[in-house]
Every structure is written in structure tokens, then in C-alpha cells.
Amino acid sequence: MVGCDATFRSEADRWFTSAVEAEDTRDRTAARLHAQRAVHSDPQHTGALALLGLCQIRDGDRHSGRVSQHLAAQLAPDDPNVLHFVGVGSWECEDGHQAIETLSRAVELESPHPSSVPVLAQILELSNRTAEAQTLLDRFAVSDPASQLLRARLLRRSGACGEALEVLDRIDPSAEGADPRLIHAERARCFDLGDHAEEAWEQVTFANEIAAQRSHHSPISPWFDRLSTVQRRRGPRRGSAATDAEPLEAGSWAGPTAFVVGFPRSGTTLIESLLTSAPGVTSTREVEAIGQAVAQVCAATGRGYLQLLSATQPSDPEAIRTAYQRVIDAQLVDRSSLVIDKLPLNVMYLGAIELAFPDTAVIVARRHPADAVLSAYVEQFADNPGTAQLNSLDGAAQLYNSVIGLWEAVRDVTTLRWIEVDYEQLVTSPESETTKISNFLGLGLDPTALLSTRATSARINTPSYTHASEPAHLRSVGRWRRYRQQLAPVLGTLGITP
């Protein structure tokens, strides 16, 4: 029997090693599959249990993931693999304090997981605890490319752009773990802060050329244009504009979900951060819940989304609600009184949202077209169908017009309660915009949340994390004017005199 146990253990170790290798290369499908096989071979393999839990959390099954990780932590509370994967799992579940506490224990072990120090440093930086992140990197003398990139980012955020550029220059872009795209993007941020527009633009161009070469997605703007046509066929507005709606008393909003949409980099993360600062409000953290729900209903009925909007069946609203709720329930362990579903390009699903949730509230972020396009173009988004078009300046401008065109088509016919929140006003006059949002949702919001630097314990699934965790400032307003020459080819497309 002992020999049999040893065989099972050896097999579990082999599968676990394969799972870790897949996790390190971000092949998360293989990581989950191999972790499952390791646990199947040995149900008490704690490292595999902890990694399987992380995979489950990332796949949207937070309840099962937390159960797996809790069991692993009970069986081996001081195992370096367990502490590492449980810490990362806590971060994925928006429990930043627990993530930092767990990973801080992990790095003090005699032989910690090799990624625990750089991951903890990254989480500290994302939580706006930049001095602690810098101290950690210095203490352990971490020198891998990703940690050096983080070191440069910390220097840039402290205002030491020259030193940051020196660190970036020392990173070998061909080294294992180095990403030339991110190196160019960080150089661009350093040059931008130093008001070196030409140098910054050159680095952004290099970064986006790399991103475009890696992407295989087609432009998405034609899809928005088709949806706009469908919306315009619905005729004149059928209800009163929500901008004229009576203000709600604090705590009186009965809707379980409010949607925040807009063009990327137009202030949706800032709005989300403001809303979740209120008691009893939580966020889905950019989970594609309504998109998944619509896809499930379309697959079950054999129709496309356009058909669903133009030939709605009586069962469609309930089917969308049920599918949506399943996704939300899997993501949110602790349900609050109000859930903020923030995903900018959910503009495309406003028709489905109106079908399934006719009494919901929608907040639309608006920003000066040139600033919105510039900010989206210079950011480095994860590659997906919704962001691939932002790798080119022309594509970003076309997508802006298509997204805003769709919203304006929806606005003319929808019965949803909605308001538009102006990014420039939110930054320059936070009190007035905060009051507007508070009245719209009946929340007691504090405008000082936008004026002060605050550490965040929640994971922000967007490149906007630095703007959400640092003070809102005026530098981002009218920034496009510093790049007027570089933006000249698309200003006419955006309706701006070159």
C-alpha cells in the first residue's frame, strides 16, 4: 500500500509540475487541466489544490476556488506553493489586504515560491503602496525583467523619470520574461511626464506596432455601426430622458445593478472607484457578464444578437436575466445592496440590458474625443476583440465614433434611466458631478474620494489602475493639445479642426 501511495504521489507531483509550468507561461487552460489531474491522483496534494483553486477563481467559479484554497491552507499553512497561490487567489477575489498578508508570509519562508516577491511587489504598487513595493524589491535584490519594469514604474510614479529611463535601458528586451511592448510603453510614460511629446509618441508607436503584430482580431467598429442602424429603426424615444428624472433620496435606489459604459479611457474606472467608495456597493470588476448571458441565449435559440434585438421572443428577457445572474453569482462571494457592472464597451449590449433589466440605471462616461482617443491609443490593453482596434490611431478614432454613435442612437429611443458623466467635469469639478451621480442613484458619495490619494484593497482589472489609485489631476484634461501634430490625421474624423 505504501508503494501504491508513493506512485500516486509521484504522479500527482508530475501533473503539478506541469500545471505550474503552464501557469508560469500563462497557459491557464493547461494549468487548470493539469492541476485537476494532480488532485485526482492525490486529493491531498496541497500545492495542486491551491493552484486548482486559483484556476477556478479565474474561470469565474469563486466559491469552488475559495473552498479548494481554504482546504489547501488548512492542510499545509506554511507551504510556499500554497501561500503563493492562495495570496494570488485573494487578489483575484478583490481581497487586497488578505493577498498582501498571505504573500508577506510567503516571502519570509526559507524557500519561498520564486514568484512570490515580484507578485507581492506588483500588488503593493497596484494598491498604491509604492514605498513598500520599492523596499521589497531592494531587500530581495530582484532583477528579473518584469521586476525591473516595475522598479522603473515606481521611479516614474515618484517623479524620477530620468532614473526610470536608465532602469529601462538596462532591461534586455530579448531576455526571458521581458516584454518589449511594455518597455516601450513605460518609456513613453516617462517622456510624456517630461513633456517630450515626440519621444513619447515614438515609443507608443513602437509599442502598438508590436501589439498589432501579435493580434489576430478584426476591427469591431463595423459591429457597432450595424447595431446603431438597428437602434435607429426603433423610432422616436419611447420614454422620458433619465437626465430629467427626479433625484432619489439616499438609499432609495431599488435596482440590484447599475451599468457604467462608455468609450475606453473616458472615466469609467474613475466612476466605478467613486461608486464603490460608498457603503454597500460592490463591483463586478469588468467581468463580461451581460455579454456571456447574451451569448448563451443566442446559442440556445439559434439566433444572432441582431436577430434577438429585432425579433425578441417573450422568453428572452427572463433567459438573459437568469444567465446574467448565474455569472454574477459565481463572481460575487459577498453580495451588496448595489452591484456596479462596469465594462466600457457594454454599450453594445444596452439593447439587451433594456430587454432584461428595463428598470436599471445606466451611467455613460463621456470625454473630449481627442483626449479619449489619445488616451486609448497610448494605453497597452490586453489583446481582445474589443481593444485590438486601439493599436492604430485611425482604428481608435473609428472605434470612438462608432461607440459614441451607437450610444447616441440608443439614447434617442431607450426607456432606461441614464445620465452622462463628463470626465472633464469629474476631474475639475468633482463636487458637482458627484452630486449628480449621488442624486441619480440615491447614494451618499464623497467627492473628496477623487481629490485625495487613497490605497485600494480591490483589484482593478484595467490599465486605468494608476488613475484610480492616484489623485485625479488636471494634467489629463486637454492633454491632446500637446499631441496636436501627432493627432492631426484623425482630428477631422473626430469633428475637431486640425
Greater confidence (34 vs 428) lies with 34
For residue 447, give the C-alpha cell.
467627492
pLDDT at 86 over 70: yes
In this predicted structure, the answer to whether residue 286 has a pLDDT above a threshold of 70 is yes
Question: Is a pLDDT exceeding 50 seen at residue 155?
Answer: yes
- Order the strands of the 257-262 sheet from edge to edge: 281-283, 338-342, 257-262, 361-366, 417-422
pLDDT for res 253 = 41
Q: Which residue has the higher pLDDT, 153 or 273?
A: 153
Phi and psi torsions of 254, nearest 5°: -95, -10
Q: Which long-range contacts (CB under 8 A, 24 or more apart) does 17-21 make?
A: 19/48, 19/51, 19/52, 20/47, 20/51, 20/81
Where in the chain is CATH 1.25.40.10? 1-110, 115-214
Query: What is the spatial distance between Cα 370 and Cα 358, in angstroms, rounded to a whole number?
Result: 33
Confidence (pLDDT) at 39: 94
Determine what percent of the chain is predicted with pLDDT higher than 70.
87
Give pLDDT, residue 277.
81
pLDDT-based confidence at 256, cuts 50/70/90? confident
Whole-model pTM above 0.75?
yes
What pLDDT is stored for residue 460 in this prediction?
A: 47
Q: What is the pLDDT of residues 376-387, one digit of tens each?
A: 999 988 888 889
**Is domain 221-465 in CATH 3.40.630.40, yes or no?**
no
Q: What is the pLDDT of residue 8?
A: 52
Distance CA 360, CA 482 (A): 39
pLDDT at 9 over 70: no
**Contact (CB, 8 A) for 261 and 365:** yes
What is the bridge-based pairing of β-strands 338-342 and 257-262? parallel
Of 120, 129, 203, give the one whose Cα is nearest residue 161.
203
In this predicted model, which residue has the larger pLDDT, 122 or 331? 122
Q: Between these two residues, 15 and 443, which has the higher pLDDT value?
A: 15
The matching CATH number, chosen from 1.25.40.10, 3.10.450.50, 2.60.40.1530, 1.10.3720.10, for 1-110 is 1.25.40.10
pLDDT digit string, tens, across residues 299-326: 999 999 999 998 889 999 999 999 998 8
- What's the N-to-C CA distance of the chain in angstroms? 80
How far apart, in Å, are the Cα atoms of 218 and each of 12, 221, 318, 384, 390?
41, 9, 32, 10, 11
CATH of domain 115-214: 1.25.40.10
Whole-number pLDDT of residue 245: 46
pLDDT tens across 437-448, in order? Answer: 888 988 877 666
> Which cell is 354 given?
433594456
User: Could you identify the residue written with the cell 425579433?
Assistant: 311
Residue 433: its pLDDT value, please? 87
Cell of 196: 517630450
Percent of the chain with pLDDT over 90: 64
Task: Determine the pLDDT at residue 236.
Answer: 58
Q: Tell me: the pLDDT tens digits for 382-437? A: 888 889 999 999 999 999 999 999 999 999 889 999 999 999 999 888 888 888 88
Q: Which three cell numbers stand for residue 108?
A: 519570509
Q: Which whole number is the average pLDDT over 127-140? A: 92
- Decide: helix, strand or coil at residue 468: helix
Q: Which residue has the higher pLDDT, 60 or 158?
A: 158
**Mean pLDDT (whole number) for 236-264:** 61
In terms of average pLDDT, the best of 3-17, 426-440, 477-491 is 477-491
Model confidence band, residue 246 (pLDDT cutoffs 50, 70, 90): low
For 195-243, write each residue's pLDDT tens digit.
999 999 999 999 999 999 999 999 999 999 999 998 888 765 554 454 4
Query: DSSP letters along 314-360, please?
Result: TTHHHHHHHHHHHHHHHH-SS--SEEEEE-GGGGGGHHHHHHH-TT-
| Mean per-residue pLDDT of the chain | 87
Confidence of residue 464 (pLDDT cuts 50, 70, 90): very low
How high is the pLDDT of residue 473?
A: 59
Band of the pLDDT at 457, cuts 50, 70, 90? very low
